[in-house]
Amino acid sequence: MKTSFPLVLTASLVSALFITSCTKENPAENMNAVNAATENSAVAAGDRIDAIVKDLSINSYSLSFSKAIPVGGITKTAYGADNYLAFADPQDLICGDPIRSKYKQIPLWKRPNIVWPTCPDMAIDVNKLTQIQEVLVKADPKQFGALKQVKALSGGTFLASDVFTGQFAAMKLDKIDDAIGGFSPDRFLMLNAPGSYGPGATRNFYGYADLNKIVFLPYKKNLRDLLKPTLKGCYDPIVLAGIKEKLQGIDPSYYKSLSVTYLPENKNIGILSMN
C-alpha cells in the first residue's frame, strides 16, 4: 500500500491528447504519421518521470494527471504516494489576514478518494522536482507553463499555479473559527473534503497540528488509515471533545453523529469523526 509523506507539490494538471485518424487522401496524413511515430518512440523509450524519480523513495513524491501524455514521456496518470499531509508557510501561499496571523502553517493534503480541483503533487528532492517541471512544460506548455515552485516547511518544494494559490488569498475566518477560537490551533487538525464543508465552514482545514510527527511516523499510519469514514479532527482528545460540542451547537442535526474515539496505540491521541 502506498503511504503518506510530509511534503507536497501542487499543480493544475489537466491535459488531453487528441490524435485524429485520416485517410490517404487527407493532407494531414504525413503529420499524423510523424506524431504517431513520436508517440511510439516516447513509449518505447520509457517514462520520463519514472526515469527522474527512479532513485527516490515512493513516499517522497506524488504526481497526478487527468490523462497520460505519451508524446511527452508521461505514460501514467499517477506516480508515487497516493496520500500525504504537508505544511506550507502562509506567506508563501500569499494568505491574507487574519488567516496569516492565526495560522503558523497551512496544511496541504491528499487522499486517494478525494479529487481536488487542482491536483496536489510533490517531490522532496528540489532538483528532481525541477527536472519534472521541465518535462511538464515541454509536454504541455499551455497547461504547465505557469507552474511555480513553493517551499514546504518540512523541506522540499511543491508546484502550484495561480489557480491553486488564489484560494488561500481569498480565505476568511468563519463561524467555525469563531466557535473554536478558544482552542490552540496546534492541538488539533480538522480536514473537510473539497466542496463538502458542512454548516458554518468555508474551507477544508482548521488547526495545524502536525500529525506527521504526532501520529503517522510514530505509529506507522497515514491519512488513509485515519480518514474512516470521514475525518473531522485528530490529536488532543480533550480539545476534540470541546470542538465536538461547539460544532453541535452550530448545527445539532448535521453534526449529531460526531464522536471522539482514540488511537488504539495511544489513548492520548483522539480522532473526531462523523458516522
pLDDT score for 156: 81
* Phi, psi angle pair for 205, to nearest 5°: -145, 150
Q: Are residues 123 and 194 in the same domain?
A: no
Q: Are residues 14 and 136 in the same domain?
A: yes
Alpha helices (H) along the chain: 29-45, 48-53, 99-102, 126-139, 141-144, 162-169, 175-179, 211, 217-219, 223-226, 237-250
- For residue range 197-246, what is the model confidence (pLDDT) as tens digits? 899 999 999 999 999 999 999 999 999 898 877 889 999 999 999 999 99
pLDDT score for 231: 83
- For residue range 26-41, what is the model confidence (pLDDT) as tens digits? 334 444 443 444 444 4
**Exposed/middle/buried for residue 81 (C-beta within 10 Å: 0-12, 13-18, 19+):** buried
Cα–chain center distance at 144: 17
Domain boundary among 134, 150, 172: 172
- Return the amino acid letter for 229: P
Residue 69, domain extent: 1-172
Q: How far apart are CA 173 and CA 166, in angstroms?
A: 16
pLDDT score for 190: 96
Q: Are residues 76 and 177 in the same domain?
A: no
Q: Are residues 220 and 236 in the same domain?
A: yes
How much is the average pLDDT of 169-192? 95
How much is the average pLDDT of 247-259? 96
Q: Structurally, how many domains does the chain consist of?
A: 2
pLDDT score for 267: 95
Lowest mean pLDDT among 120-134, 163-177, 202-216: 120-134
Q: Are 134 and 159 in contact (CB under 8 A)?
A: no
Share of the chain above pLDDT 70, in %: 80
pTM to 2 decimal places: 0.79
Q: Are residues 205 and 219 in the same domain?
A: yes
What is the band of 110 on the pLDDT scale with cuts at 50, 70, 90?
A: confident
Rounded to whole angstroms, the maximal C-alpha distance in the chain is 75
Q: Are residues 144 and 261 in the same domain?
A: no
Lowest mean pLDDT among 56-60, 72-76, 102-106, 236-240: 56-60
Coil, strand, or helix at residue 133?
Answer: helix
Which residues face 87 on adjacent strands? 107
Does residue 12 surpass a pLDDT of 80?
Answer: no
Edge-to-edge strand list for the sheet holding 266-274? 205-207, 188-191, 230-235, 266-274, 258-263
Which residues face 261 on adjacent strands? 271
How much is the average pLDDT of 54-83? 91
